[in-house]
Every structure is written in C-alpha cells, then in structure tokens.
Amino acid sequence: MAANQYRFKYDEYGNTREILVYESGPSVHANSFVNKGTAFTVKERKQLGIEAVLPPSVRDLEDQVEATQSKVAARKDAVEKFRFIRELFDRNVTLAHAVIQSDIEKFIPIIYTPTVELAVQQYSSIFRKANGLYLYPGNINNAEDILRRYAHRDIRIAVVTDNQGVLGVGDQGVGGIAICLGKLMLYTQGAGIAPWHCLPISLDVGTNNESLLADKEYLGWRHERLQGEEYLQFIGRFARAFRNVFPHAICQWEDFSKQNAFSTRDAFVDELISFNEDIQGTGAIVLASIFTAMKIKRQKLSEQIFLIHGAGTCGIGVAEQIELALIEEGLSADEAQKRIFALDSKGILWNGRECELYKRKYATNPENHPWVKEDMLCLEDVIEHCGATVLIGTSGQGGCVGCFTQEVIEAVGNNTDRPVILPLSNPEAVIEAHPAEIYQWTRGKAVVATGSAFGPFHLEGKIYTARQASNVLIFPGIGAGILASGAREVLPQFFTAAARAVSDCVSGEEMDEGCLVPRLASLKQISLKVAQAVAMSAVNRGISRPCVFSDFQHEDDEQRMKKLIRRMRWEPDYLPLVAM
C-alpha cells in the first residue's frame, strides 16, 4: 500500500489514534501498519472491501497472540524463531509487537542479542523483504529525496549503521541493518515509539570482509570499504540530508568501528539530535551497575579505583561515564581521570605510548604512577599496583576468554572487601570469567554483573544472581525522554541520569542476592523511569521545548513530563481503521 493510500491521525500528544485508509480490496493486507489479519471486524471488512478475502471467523488480538506463541515455539532454533518474528512484523506490526510484549524476557534474546548476530551473518541468504533504507555511493547524492519519501510516517528515531563494528562478528556489510531492526523493535517495546515512526538505515560504504565479497548471494555494495576523505564525505552527505528532512528526529549511530564511532558521534553532535548507543548506552548501563554496587558496598564512587580491560569503543564509553559521575560527585576532571585505568591489547594506556586519539584521555601519567611500564600486559600486576576495586571487562575478544583468572579476581579482593567484577564481553563464548567461578573464588564477596544472561547460583546455602547488564535497559528510555522533552541536543548528563534511574529500579531484596540491574521483564516500567529522568535533565539544563498542553498547565514540570511520557506511548493494540 503506497504512502498516499493511508494516513495516521494523531492526538495532541502525538500518539496515533486511528488510521485513515484510502484503499480497498486485497491491497489493504499489503501494509503491515494497517493489516490486522483475521482480526478485521465484520464492519471493517465491508468498508474496506475485504469481505471475501478472509475466512468468516473473526479472531481478536488476544487469540492471535496465543496462536502465534505456539507457532514461534514450534520453530526448531533461535534463527528460525527470529525469521518468523521478522516475517510476522513485515505482515502485521501490531501482532508482532503484541507477541513480543506477551513475554518480553523470552523474546529479547530472539529479536536482539544474541540471535540477531547470527541473523546478521546470514542476512543475504535469509532476506525476504526490505524494511528500511540502504544508502550507498550509487544513491547517496539523492539521500534527501529518498528520506522525504518517509516524511508521511513522521520519523522520530532512526538507527543508523555503517555495518563495520557489529558486536562479536565485526564487519558484516549490508547485514548490519538487522541490528537496527532489532534495536528499533526494542525502542517500540520499551519507549512506546510507534513502529511507523522508526527507520532503520544502512550506510553501505562497502565491506572488507573477503568472504562476503566472494559470496554470490551477498546483497550489499560489492566493494572494499570507503576510507579517509571519501568515507567522511559520504557520512557528511547523509547527516545533512537527515538534518534537513527530520530536524527533530533522533539519529542513533550503531555498530560503527572503533576508528569511526567517536569521530562520527562528535562531528555531528551540534548538527543532529544524535548519540552513539554502543559508546554511551554501554557506559550508562555499566555505570548503573556500579551505582547499585556502591549501595551494596555502602561506599562512594570516588572511593573506588576503576580498571577497564578492553579500551575499545565500549571500554572508553564506560570510562567517559564513570568520569562524568565522579565529577558530579565533586572530583575535578583531573582527579577523576586519575582513578580510571585502562588496558588494550598492547598493554596499559600511558602517556608516551602510541594509541588511537579517542583513548589518549585515559592514558596514565607515569609521573603520577611510576610503576607504569611500557607494554605492561600482566593484569594481575596492574591490579596490584593501581589498587583496583572495580574490574570491568569489555575486550570482546576470543583471545581474552577466561582472562579474569582466580589470581586476578583474588588480586582485586586484596584491595577491597567487596570487589566489583563486571565481565561484560559477550556472547558467553568470549566472557572474561564465569560468574559462578567469581563467586566461588571470592567466597560470595564479589558483586557481579555480566554481558550475557546467566541463571542464579547457589553457594553455601545462599542464592547469588549475576544479571545481564544489557543496554536494552537504557536506550529506549533515552529515546523517550529526548522526544518528550523536545531536547535540542543529547547531553552526556542524560546517560548519567539514565544510569541512576535504572539503579533505582533494583529493589533491596534483589541487592541482597547481588543483583546490580533490574529484570528485563520490567522493561516498560524501567523505560518510563529512565525517560522521566532524561526529560527532567533536559528541562533542568534549559535545552527542552516548553510543554504547552492545556491540561498540564497547573502542574509542575516533573508532573507534566510524567503525564506526557505516558500519553505519548504507543501500545500494540489494533487501531480503528477509517475507510476513506
């Protein structure tokens, strides 16, 4: 169904209340936003000319969800389940989201990490239907015209990737758009941003993955990656086009390589309402885990020494958020940076050693720490010398599997009664240490969160729970808070506010079990609290648009924002269809 054959009708809060349909007959089924499958009412079937197109029985959404759940369960493996959900999404968006919402904790691993990484690698072979935009050197000069074709959908958020830095699998060419699709489904689930307001975009600048270039089925631009000035010009053309067409929409950069992630984020921070979720979302969820750990330890952030093992995109993003939180606690930037140490594959970062520009801020000064030696690689030695009380693993490399050995964990335990150990590399195959081992080595004293999902552990009659520190708990609320507040830019402080909100969702009983983050099952409630915190951060810093709704005028900013965030939410219920 073409764009001029349907139109969304909004209420004053920007939430869709009905869909005006200008087409009739079998083509009504062709648009996944309009299609209800067997749930079209008898009245709608008559008005839309589809009486004989469907069998006579009418099923409501609840019945459809129940039937669909059993169909998903019948699929033999995770990738087949992913394909089924994606194909359902392409036919009937509302039903797909209602199924996901019915058991969000079960479906997140199917539509997102870890299954989506497998789908990325198989993207060309399992491709069925385009769902998003593919910009490449052959059409980038027409980017503005291409984006305008989506103006009727009132795009509010786009997840944009150059496909090079897919977590755990690297450069996957055009397949990286599958990550964008999964992430936008979670923006809908958590933030309530309607699917038609979401746009996945692949910036296909080629691939250096030789197996893809040699694959006859590969669907991407079959060239080596653009580099240098050609790459920068391509990204610049896209950014200008996006700003011109969607000046109030969020542009979330996704899966850029460590070489380009920071430079792209920083280059357009004043032009677009944009952020890099791999950098800032990861930093925020790790900071949320640390905030909760401080409650358990009954200590301040400024009393800790932080050691980050893996100084790539995620690791430096974590360092940035820790530094900002330390500054908010009263330290100067210089004092904060002195409490943060980082290692990459070449050893500890220190002044005088060659390293990428984005890492240099966290290079240790040997004048302050004379123990620092060139190419210092021994993790245990670094822990002993720097006095680390918080150990964070973000290497994500197979060669670092199990690098948090018993000796390493015990070394952190020598510096503090309650060591905070965060082995965050995922999938589980590349994790730095299994949480059960960490609990055993520290006799239950460690406070742990992980990058992969694990069940609870029993040790000496007590239950310990190392929950997954998933970015999913952060980014939907960030998006909702920005949109609700009308923030004109994305500030680093938004992510600190989000981290505190997530930490505040962890109950005392959960902390007694060692939980540092709340359950994914509460994603909607968590996202509402994160959105409120982010929106108020924007209001308090004077970068939001004023809230002018008449029924909010007698309430304070906080109450107005809370009501607005809730009323902006889209829920997966079938909307009234008005035949035009």
Q: How confident is the model at residue 480 (pLDDT cuts 50, 70, 90)?
A: very high
Q: How confident is the model at residue 4 (pLDDT cuts 50, 70, 90)?
A: confident
CATH 3.40.50.10380 in the chain, residues? 77-271
Whether the bond into 427 is cis, omega within 30 of 0: yes
- Topology of domain 77-271 in CATH is Rossmann fold (3.40.50)
Indicate the range of 20-34, 195-209, 221-235, 279-293 predicted with least confidence: 20-34
* Alpha-carbon torsion, ordered 508, 514, 517, 520, to 10 deg: -100
- Topology of domain 280-472 in CATH is Rossmann fold (3.40.50)
Indicate the range of 64-73, 297-306, 427-436, 554-563 predicted with least confidence: 554-563
Spatial separation of the C-alpha atoms in residues 379 and 440, rounded to whole Å: 20
* pLDDT at residue number 397: 62
Q: How confident is the model at residue 307 (pLDDT cuts 50, 70, 90)?
A: very high
Question: What is the average per-residue pLDDT within 143-151?
Answer: 97
Number of CB atoms found within 10 A of residue 141's CB: 11
Instruction: Tell me how many degrees the CA angle 570-269-525 measures, rounded to the nearest 5.
Output: 30
Question: What is the average per-residue pLDDT within 505-533?
Answer: 96
* pLDDT at residue number 549: 56
pLDDT at 529 over 90: yes
Each residue's pLDDT tens digit, 427-460: 788 899 999 999 999 999 999 999 988 988 888 8
Q: What mean pLDDT, rounded, does the chain reach?
A: 92
* pLDDT at residue number 114: 85
Question: What is the average per-residue pLDDT within 352-365?
Answer: 87
Of the residues 6, 112, 187, 218, which is catalytic?
112
pLDDT at 108 over 70: yes
187 flagged as catalytic: no
CATH 3.40.50.720 in the chain, residues? 280-472
Residues facing residue 347 across a β-bridge: 344
112 flagged as catalytic: yes
Each residue's pLDDT tens digit, 156-208: 999 999 989 787 678 889 989 999 999 999 999 999 999 999 999 999 999 99
Whether the bond into 492 is cis, omega within 30 of 0: no
* Among candidate residues 38, 44, 85, 73, the one with its CA nearest the CA of residue 58: 38
Question: Strand (E) positions, 245-296?
Answer: 250-254, 273-276
Whether 430 and 399 have beta carbons less than 8 Å apart is answered as no
* Among candidate residues 309, 384, 292, the one with its CA nearest the CA of residue 349: 309
Q: Is the pTM of this model over 0.75?
A: yes
Of the residues 36, 81, 150, 183, which is catalytic?
183
* Among candidate residues 558, 554, 528, the one with its CA nearest the CA of residue 540: 558
